[in-house]
């Protein structure tokens, strides 16, 4: 749901808050003294996860450069415009998915003008997949290319989960909104995208039973005034986010302003990347509610998707137009496909 159409939202600058003035923002607390981070937040932004190659080692834009970048991206990504000169958001002329009404990617870069959400490694890009990660990426590509059945489609296609809904959160095209509710025993993060609700206990150890989940097994703790959420035991190796079942994700959430939180995550997954990597961005509190995301398993779109693939098969072709007996490899990386 596009909140830029529903309401005008004031953006809280993460570098212009009271902390940037050398003052510690007053932290609201629960009855037990823990930082109160409850509320509804948006994490939409034009700042990309990966630093664009043309910006090379430029970590931060000037204010003027950031304004120019935002203007360019707002025009390039506008689905109501087919603009050959800037690529039309990657769509050829006349080809479009949703129109602009449905998008909620934001209209500004993050307030400190970083050129990427990734800050480690210093080049601002998700590291290249290692051999094991590339092998799983190829398996996913083959499943989609052959589309053998509903199980061959992504969990997003099947309305079971979304790559950006976490863990970790990653801004996407729309529904970049969460609601946080906390008690002394649990913290709940409801993501508007595919209506995922993560109910996370405050605990010192993960569950001992060998139960794995699509969202992983999460536990929470406080490190001073920072909420730490550690997630592991992901369900299966063919995870569409690029993670393996051995991945460990650490999320850190802290207040940096009266209406702004900082969300910072690190992924450590030696079966996908040879080094860990980290990204961060602000969560800005909003007044709008979380809306229902009416997507469910049995998505009617699958009927058309699979019917199209069966038609290709009858023509002796895969869904990507290659001969059905070809062994064409599709080049995929986590940074291009999954994040």
Confidence label for 319 from pLDDT (cuts 50, 70 and 90):
low
| 118-140 mean pLDDT | 91
| 132-161 mean pLDDT | 76
Residue pointed to by tokens 């009266």: 258
The per-residue pLDDT for range 208-252, each reduced to its tens digit, is: 667 778 888 999 999 999 999 999 988 766 555 678 888 999 999
| 200-209 mean pLDDT | 85
State the pLDDT at residue 144: 67
Element (H, E) at 308: helix 301-314
State the pLDDT at residue 76: 82
Confidence label for 156 from pLDDT (cuts 50, 70 and 90):
confident
Q: Residue 111: pLDDT above 50?
A: yes
State the pLDDT at residue 37: 97
Whether the CB-CB separation of 125 and 114 falls below 8 Å is answered with: no
Whether the CB-CB separation of 113 and 59 falls below 8 Å is answered with: no
Helix or strand or coil: residue 55? helix
- Average model confidence (pLDDT) for the chain? 80
State the pLDDT at residue 148: 63
The per-residue pLDDT for range 33-72, each reduced to its tens digit, is: 999 999 999 999 999 999 999 888 899 999 999 999 899 8
State the pLDDT at residue 13: 33
Residue (of 129, 48, 124) closest to 333 by Cα position:
129
Whole-prediction pTM: 0.82
State the pLDDT at residue 45: 92
User: For 73, what's the count of Cα atoms within 13 Å in the CB-facing half-sphere?
Assistant: 18
Q: Residue 95: pLDDT above 80?
A: no
Element (H, E) at 141: helix 131-146
**239 or 136, greater pLDDT:** 136
State the pLDDT at residue 119: 96
């Amino acid at each position: 749901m596009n909140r830029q159409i529903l309401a005008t939202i004031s953006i809280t600058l993460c570098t212009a808050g009271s902390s940037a003035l050398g003052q510690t923002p007053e932290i609201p607390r629960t009855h037990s003294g823990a930082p109160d981070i409850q509320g509804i937040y948006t994490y939409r932004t034009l700042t990309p996860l990966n630093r664009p190659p043309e910006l090379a080692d430029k970590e931060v834009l000037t204010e003027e450069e950031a304004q120019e970048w935002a203007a360019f991206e707002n025009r390039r990504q506008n689905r109501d415009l087919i603009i050959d000169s800037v690529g039309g958001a990657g769509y050829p002329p006349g080809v479009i998915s949703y129109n602009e009404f449905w998008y909620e990617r934001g209209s500004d870069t993050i307030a400190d003008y970083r050129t990427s959400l990734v800050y480690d490694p210093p080049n601002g890009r998700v590291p290249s997949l290692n051999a094991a990660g590339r092998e799983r990426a190829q398996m996913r590509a083959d499943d989609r290319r052959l589309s053998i059945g509903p199980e061959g489609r992504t969990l997003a296609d099947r309305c079971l989960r979304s790559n950006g809904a976490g863990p970790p959160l990653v801004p996407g095209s729309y529904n970049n909104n969460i609601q946080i509710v906390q008690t002394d025993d649990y913290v709940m993060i409801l993501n508007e995208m595919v209506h995922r609700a993560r109910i996370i206990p405050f605990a010192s150890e993960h569950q001992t039973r060998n139960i794995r989940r699509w969202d992983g097994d999460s536990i929470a703790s406080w490190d001073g005034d920072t909420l730490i959420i550690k997630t592991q035991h992901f369900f299966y190796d063919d995870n569409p986010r690029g993670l393996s079942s051995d991945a460990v994700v650490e999320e850190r959430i802290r207040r940096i302003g009266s209406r702004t939180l900082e969300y910072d995550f690190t992924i450590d997954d030696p079966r996908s990347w040879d080094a860990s990597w980290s990204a961060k961005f602000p969560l800005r509190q909003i007044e709008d509610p979380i809306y229902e995301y009416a997507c469910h398993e049995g998505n009617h779109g699958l009927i058309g998707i699979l019917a199209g693939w069966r038609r290709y098969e009858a023509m002796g072709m895969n869904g990507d137009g290659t001969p059905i007996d070809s062994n064409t490899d599709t080049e995929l990386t986590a940074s291009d496909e999954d994040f």
